[in-house]
Structure 1
Amino acid sequence: MRKHTSATRQGRPLWMFLPGGLLTLVVIVVPLALALYISLLDLDQYSIREWVGAEFIGFENYVEAVRDSHLPHAITISLGYSALVTLGCLPLGLAAAVATQDRFKGRGLVRSALLIPYVLPAFVVGSTWRIILQPDGIANRLLGTEGLWLNGPRSFWALVIVQLWAGWPLVYLLAAAGLQSMDTTVHEAAALDGAGHWAKLRHVVLPQLRGPVSLGLVISFLHNVNSFTLPFVLFGVPSPYDVEVLPVLTYVESFQNFEFGLSVAMAVVSLILVAIPMAVYLRAVRLDTERGQK
């Protein structure tokens, strides 16, 4: 009986995990191991043709990335603007989900329209906003201001605004899905207890949305940290110093400066930045699941 139990997992033979395991090995493990190896080489445009024989320099690429490149600044910019955008997505997404929860005429059309910023390709979003934010564009005309939005200190806030405009519907979508899955008897019980709109929102609705909204915030933050297309199209390369985000810096080091070993080291650092919040979220979900089972 013990032998049979060890050969299965949740009633399924372990050999059924073999195709998924092989796919994970080919798609994730092998490229990751190759990237880690390249980050330890002195690989540039002169040695790329024979990269297997490139000089092994250990962690010098990582040291150079921290000391002699704009990596620390790029990390600060990426984390800072990603945090601001993620925090901005929370009230916008929740408000839109709650506002479109009750049935009204044209609700389906409104819900579809709210998703337009999220489903548009990043290239289209970046190109459109680049026109809007030109010195003689509609943004300065409407605000009655002058100056540059695509260069200088304003460029950081331009990136925050554009990324927020494009990303908040994700939180709205997950929050709306969470509201749809809520038991209607909970709302009826709250109404019978005399709970007002705000009391029901605070004590009934928001606690039920903690899981979907948390997932939306994590995905939004990771997407913003890794966002390349939107900053690339919006500001071009080389990017202004105020919006020199990590993905664009990695691209410049690789495909303009041809420092492939250095750029891969930066990509590994980016992977670590992404893995930390994901690990924290998965740990929190695991703890909640264990509490629920008890």
Structure 2
Amino acid sequence: MPGRHRPLWLLAPGAVLTVLVIVVPLAVALHISLLDLDQYSFRQWVRAPFVGLANYTEAVRASGAVHAIVLSTSYAAIVTVVTLPIGVAAALATQDRFRGRGLVRSVFLVPYVLPAFVVGTVWRIILQPDGVANGLLARLGIDGGLWLNGRQSFWALVVVQIWASWPLLYLLALAGLQSVDPVLHEAAALDGAGWWDKLRYVIFPHLRGPVGLAVIIAFLHNINNFTLPFVLFGVPSPRDVEVLPVLTYVESFQNFRFGLSAAMAVLSLVLIAIPLAGYLRAVRLDVGQDGVDQGSRA
């Protein structure tokens, strides 16, 4: 009997770490979001006035949280939709062996392995009014205008994030391609399947799981990205690129509204949990369907 519960004890270190790293900070954040905590009450934050849901109400009605949520969601969705075909196409292009494939794969990973601070700094120099981007556009007879301020700043953020994040989808799509059994490729060739038929009926079905995971991870990464917009535009950033992580930072470390910023952080967590819950439910349904199919075959 004692050995029967031994596997549960093996999970204890991970459970303790999860409680310390995730559960406790989340509980503290939820508690702070219910307090009127600012620079005046920070020294005795446990005794700060309890305001209930007032911070959430202010975040939705009085602050720019709603605008930041819409901005973050649209920006993350555009980047994810654009990087998906780029990543899958790059994975398909580097799947088969050819001379220099290792070098090409390494070059493809450069935007992803560079620190976000470096990427933001380099692109900030490129997008200056007298920078490389406007210089190239001027040769084509196009007035680039201001990329780091005004309406064009949103599209500048989208372009830079696309450049920096497409290798993530490339990596996961490439991992999915490597899991395809070579026997399936040989069988498709023997059946006379063309390039498109092979891509549609052999490769794409095996990419559904990895690509679905890649889309969710990329979307969550983009919607929660702080470093790139912070370095690229600075603080205070233009309203068109004041995404939710940057707004939360401003309310916390510049305005010292810690209760309000905690409420915004909780809203950000809810925003992230929605697509994640949808993906987990889809995966569970797929597993259940596979189990039903295997049971019916047996």
State the distance in 2 between where 1:95 and 1:255 align.
42
Question: 1:220 aligned to 2:218?
Answer: yes
Structure 2 gaps, min length 5: 293-298
Equivalence for 1:94: 88
Question: 1:19 aligned to 2:18?
Answer: no
Equivalence for 2:75: 81
Matches within 5 A, 1:10-159: 13-144=7-138, 145-159=143-157
State the distance in 2 between where 1:90 and 1:146 align.
27
Aligned residues: 288
State the distance in 1 between where 2:85 and 2:22 align.
35
Question: 1:237 aligned to 2:235?
Answer: yes
Query: In the alignment, residue 143 of structure 1 is paired with which amino acid?
Result: L
- SS of the residue aligned with 1:105? coil
- SS of the residue aligned with 1:159? helix
Which of the numbers 276, 279, 284 marks the counterpart of 2:277? Answer: 279
State the distance in 1 between where 2:85 and 2:230 align.
27
State the distance in 1 between where 2:201 and 2:126 align.
41
Query: In the alignment, residue 165 of structure 2 is paired with which amino acid?
Result: G
State the distance in 2 between where 1:64 and 1:82 align.
25
Could you tell me how far 1:146 is from its partner in structure 2?
Answer: 3.2
Q: TM-score, normalised by structure 1?
A: 0.96
Query: In the alignment, residue 291 of structure 1 is paired with which amino acid?
Result: Q
Q: TM-score, normalised by structure 2?
A: 0.94
Could you tell me how far 1:4 is from its partner in structure 2?
Answer: 8.0
Query: In the alignment, residue 86 of structure 1 is paired with which amino acid?
Result: T
Query: In the alignment, residue 282 of structure 2 is paired with which amino acid?
Result: A
- SS of the residue aligned with 2:52? coil
Equivalence for 1:171: 169
Could you tell me how far 1:13 is from its partner in structure 2?
Answer: 2.9
State the distance in 1 between where 2:187 and 2:7 align.
46
Query: In the alignment, residue 151 of structure 2 is paired with which amino acid?
Result: P
CA offsets 1:30-59 (integer angstroms, 9 cap, x no match): 111111000000000000001011000000
Query: In the alignment, residue 286 of structure 1 is paired with which amino acid?
Result: R
- SS of the residue aligned with 1:94? helix
Runs of 4+ in 1 over 3 A off after TM superposition: none
State the distance in 2 between where 1:110 and 1:249 align.
38
Equivalence for 1:289: 287
Query: In the alignment, residue 270 of structure 1 is paired with which amino acid?
Result: S
RMSD over aligned CA atoms reads: 1.2
Could you tell me how far 1:267 is from its partner in structure 2?
Answer: 0.2
Query: In the alignment, residue 170 of structure 2 is paired with which amino acid?
Result: Y
Structure 1 gaps, min length 5: none
State the distance in 2 between where 1:99 and 1:19 align.
43
State the distance in 2 between where 1:136 and 1:63 align.
43
State the distance in 1 between where 2:101 and 2:56 align.
52
- SS of the residue aligned with 2:38? coil
State the distance in 1 between where 2:259 and 2:290 align.
46
Query: In the alignment, residue 81 of structure 1 is paired with which amino acid?
Result: Y
Equivalence for 2:296: none
Q: Any conservation in 1 of the 2:133–2:144 contact (CA below 8 Å)?
A: no
- SS of the residue aligned with 2:67? helix
- SS of the residue aligned with 1:238? coil
State the distance in 2 between where 1:120 and 1:293 align.
42
Could you tell me how far 1:62 is from its partner in structure 2?
Answer: 0.3
State the distance in 2 between where 1:193 and 1:276 align.
43
State the distance in 2 between where 1:60 and 1:178 align.
47
